[in-house]
Structure 1
Amino acid sequence: MGEGPYSSTAFLASKYDKPVEVFGLPGKRGLWELDGEQFITSITIPRWPTRTVPAAGSDGHADIIDPVDGVIHSFLNLKKGRDGRWTASMYAWTRLDGRGWGDPSHYFQGARAAAVPPMAGLIRKHEINDGQKTYRHALAMSLTFSGLSSRTGYVFPASSADRTWRDNTGMIPEGALMMLPEDFDTASIEDRDLRKVAETLKVYGAYVVDRNHGTPFYIYVENGADFNLHKPKWNHAVDQDLKRMQKALRQVVGVKGWLDGYGRKFSPEEKLNMISMRGPWVATAGKGTAKFDTWSQSLILTGASSRSEFQHRNNRSFSGVNWAKMEGGQRYNLKLQSSEDSELQLTILGNKGNRTMFSSHWLGNGDSVEFTWPGESSRAVLSVRKRSDNGGESRVRAFVYAKDEGIINPLSKTLSR
């Protein structure tokens, strides 16, 4: 556990920082915008801390926290060229006051493999000597190939995993919560820094957020924290305690309850939107364009008229997240939030595409409808159209929640899938 080239730093922006434009890597099609699943030429970060330095490893992680907009900007392979030009291979963002994890709609919210920002779960510089017995949050952990599962890439609350997860040979998926048992002996750990981590693993645990190469487990500490368990020389006692912790760590498979950072009981259950407006969208009538906007999580119609219509047919509107699939026989509620001059229709077709199993008909802003997801294999088609010829920009966003349950239960979704 410690700092390193594959850890990260959280860089705090201020209202005085100037904007910076980040481009895709040289020779690539552009910057891969993870949520929209699309290449973009560049992205402009409105407030860029001048001291931003990405991690030295090949992942090149760096997170920028913008308290003005309430956003965490997350990059993979971030680099600054000799000409001062910033480039990266991937970009994602999450709300500063959000869950920290992806949801079925906005499923990729950070540059870690588990779709979380690298700063999530970091042992931060200011926490190391704060006088507390534990860190007051779950930690971030990676496992190597022999620990990670080849049966499933991830479980709730993770919403993604390394693309080559099938090459793993272990049993533990990304997103798993790892903990030390209550009776694990921490009193015998002489090193103060290691003992604090072990105490944290007994209370809050560590989520598996990534894969490493060759280390049974690695717990990430913010770069620049001067955290080193083996200074000024190799510490044999620390080495033995780490091996003892390795043998004792277990994946959580049942809980009686949850504690927040202040030791108070709370329920992490909440409603999660099951539908996304991400593309690709195809014009089926009229003129104009329809493009997904990650910032508003909506579809933006530009230059469209009352004769314009656009469709999404490839089923990516509904979640590809493995713990959030639409379930046959389950009741759902569809609600539309849009400009007053735009409408949406959801059509569910049978597995051969020649039979309509459900049609919401055209919904306007604020309209909603209940429906039952068909039990057989089906395909969803979203259609959006304008009702006016004003030529202005219109926005469309849909929300789908389970009607009866309406709540994602982290325990049941982890254990039953």
Structure 2
Amino acid sequence: MTATGQDGHCEILDLLDGKLHSFYQLRRTAGTWRACKYACTSAQGSGWGTVSNPDNVRAAGCSTAGGLLLASELGLEIVPHALAIGIDKNAFVSGPVWPATLQDYTGASTYKGLTGQRFAMGRLLMLPASFDVDKLGLPESRTIARTLKKYGGYIVDATVGSLNFYAEIGSGWNKIYVNGKYTAAFSPDMQAIKASLRQVIAHSGFVDRDGKPYTPPPFRSTNLLSMRGPWQGYNGSRSFGEYDASTDLFRTEPTGESRTIRQLLTHIVKLIYSGTSNRTGT
């Protein structure tokens, strides 16, 4: 099922090859499915973009499957992963930070939050150890709070006028209405959680999903050359092949003729001089 609203996200997991197919603004019109954006990644990967392949359907450059509260997780004391969080666009400062590779809007002028009260896309938010989970009214709220105390949640999207925790459609995590009746305790629970969330600004290290120490590779040490392109024919040779996002490879079909394609790259060098000498440079 596609998500309602403007974004229309949809995730399809292929159990045969373990690939996750992600769609943005997926709609069925006149019997034909169309999407404004598509990405394919391995379900065994981190879910985040890389330097060479930074793009995906979520604003932060990740899949919308990442961080979802799932139907299968309802009833757990704690969800075994960090949560996906969306905040109002006016609460952002321009420029994504690791592990995000993209952001929702371009240009610093778009983000108009107060200085010192803004967050970068990709920031980790957590509840402090002192947060009293037992004061929350609903078991779903208490599970969300325990998860935020242990794993936290990453800012992955921009909203308008709200702070969101994202859940699988029909999963039962949203308790605003139950069986058509308003649940008075859910909104105060969410307001209490929102008021106590804090940005993580220092840490002693990371652990992987098995609890073992893990050091994320910095962007500067990863592959800066993307096989995405742009590719074009060279010296009269026609273009061929296509980029495969799930493997980060450029795949070509078998051919008996000689073909040449090229990838156009732009390299910017900035020279900065100080002092009063007559040196010049390009």
- Classify the TM-score, shorter chain: 0.7 to 0.9
Report the residue type matching 1:163 in the other structure: Y
Contact 1:179–1:204, Cα closer than 8 Å, also in 2: yes
TM-score for both structures, normalised by structure 1: 0.57
Partner of residue 104, structure 1: 51
Instruction: Tell me whether 1:227 sits opposite 2:178 in the alignment.
Output: no
Q: Write out aligned runs for 1:93-132 (5 A).
A: 93-108=40-55, 110-129=56-75, 132=76
Gaps of 5+ in 1: 1-52, 316-347, 353-376, 379-417
Partner of residue 37, structure 2: 90
Deviation, structure 1 residue 266: 2.9
RMSD over aligned CA atoms reads 2.8
Report the residue type matching 1:175 in the other structure: G
Partner of residue 276, structure 2: none
Deviation, structure 1 residue 175: 1.0
Deviation, structure 1 residue 184: 1.3
Contact 1:288–1:305, Cα closer than 8 Å, also in 2: no
Deviation, structure 1 residue 178: 0.8
Instruction: Tell me whether 1:76 sits opposite 2:28 in the alignment.
Output: no
Report the residue type matching 1:253 in the other structure: I
Deviation, structure 1 residue 268: 4.4
Q: Deviations along 1:306-339, whole A, 9 cap, x unmatched?
A: 6x65433332xxxxxxxxxxxxxxxxxxxxxxxx
Q: 1:305 to 1:174 in 2, by over 3 A?
A: same
Q: Which has the higher helix share?
A: 2
Deviation, structure 1 residue 54: 1.1
Contact 2:244–2:251, Cα closer than 8 Å, also in 1: no
Report the residue type matching 1:141 in the other structure: I
Q: Deviations along 1:286-319, whole A, 9 cap, x unmatched?
A: 523255422453345676966x65433332xxxx
Q: Deviations along 1:263-283, whole A, 9 cap, x unmatched?
A: x24314246322112222344
Contact 2:2–2:8, Cα closer than 8 Å, also in 1: yes
Aligned partner (choices 125, 129, 139) of residue 83 of structure 2: 139
Contact 2:237–2:261, Cα closer than 8 Å, also in 1: no
Aligned partner (choices 236, 239, 242) of residue 289 of structure 1: 239
Structure 1 CA distance for aligned equivalents of residues 252 and 235 of structure 2:
13
Report the residue type matching 1:123 in the other structure: L
Q: 1:142 to 1:258 in 2, by over 3 A?
A: same
Partner of residue 277, structure 2: none
Q: Which has the higher strand share?
A: 1
Structure 1 CA distance for aligned equivalents of residues 145 and 107 of structure 2:
28
Contact 2:22–2:63, Cα closer than 8 Å, also in 1: yes
Residues paired across the two proteins, number: 261
Report the residue type matching 1:197 in the other structure: I
Structure 1 CA distance for aligned equivalents of residues 146 and 164 of structure 2:
16
Contact 1:288–1:301, Cα closer than 8 Å, also in 2: no
Structure 1 CA distance for aligned equivalents of residues 63 and 236 of structure 2:
40
Gaps of 5+ in 2: 272-280
Structure 2 CA distance for aligned equivalents of residues 128 and 249 of structure 1:
22
